[in-house]
Amino acid sequence: MIDEEGTQLGIMTPQAALEIATERGLDLVEVSPTAVPPVCRVLDYGKYLYQLSKKAHDARRRQKQIQVKEVKFRPKTEEHDYQFKKKHIERFLSEGDKVKASIMFRGREMAHPDYGRHILDRLRQELADRALVEVEPRLEGRFMTMIFGSKK
């Protein structure tokens, strides 16, 4: 048994430990039930739960949420549009987000998936110093997609 300051009170019966806890106006909490003998602690259980929730809240607040941003291309995207969209991808990567580059095919464009693969390969080469390819280009229905992640 451990008291509220953290000093060990030794091995005792559950009834004796409960009596000590009630004398001090605190709760008896089983900290490690699998230990031999089980370890109990005398503490204010409400305060303990509050501290745990505050720690969990702070941990969630410090986490960085990584989003997946999508940039869409077409097989016949012109040079200026390509450069404009590439700058968006670079900005998203610098902010720490992942980027999903998609090529959308319509109608007869489906007969030439190599046009889309050419655009994605060009992106891979031009972003090689800033981005890692996390998912290789793959054709899913009318879309060919590739996912980039930022280099640390």
Could you write out the DSSP letters of every residue in 70-92?
EEEE-TT--HHHHHHHHHHHHHH
Question: Is 1:11 a contact under the CB 8 Å cutoff?
Answer: yes
d(CA 146, CA 121): 10
Report yes or no on 74 lying in a domain: yes
Quick check: pTM over 0.85?
no
**Angle formed at CA 142 by CA 89 and CA 85, multiple of 5 degrees:** 15
Report yes or no on 4 lying in a domain: no
d(CA 134, CA 149): 6
Same domain, 56 and 79: no
Same domain, 87 and 121: yes
Q: Give me the number of domains the chain comprises.
A: 2
Same domain, 54 and 111: no
Same domain, 58 and 73: no
- Domain limits for position 58: 14-62
d(CA 152, CA 118): 27
Please report, in tens digits, the pLDDT of each residue of the chain (152 residues total): 888 888 888 888 889 889 988 998 999 988 888 888 889 999 899 998 999 899 999 988 887 778 899 999 999 999 999 999 999 999 999 988 999 999 999 999 999 999 999 999 999 999 999 899 999 999 999 999 999 998 87
d(CA 97, CA 49): 34
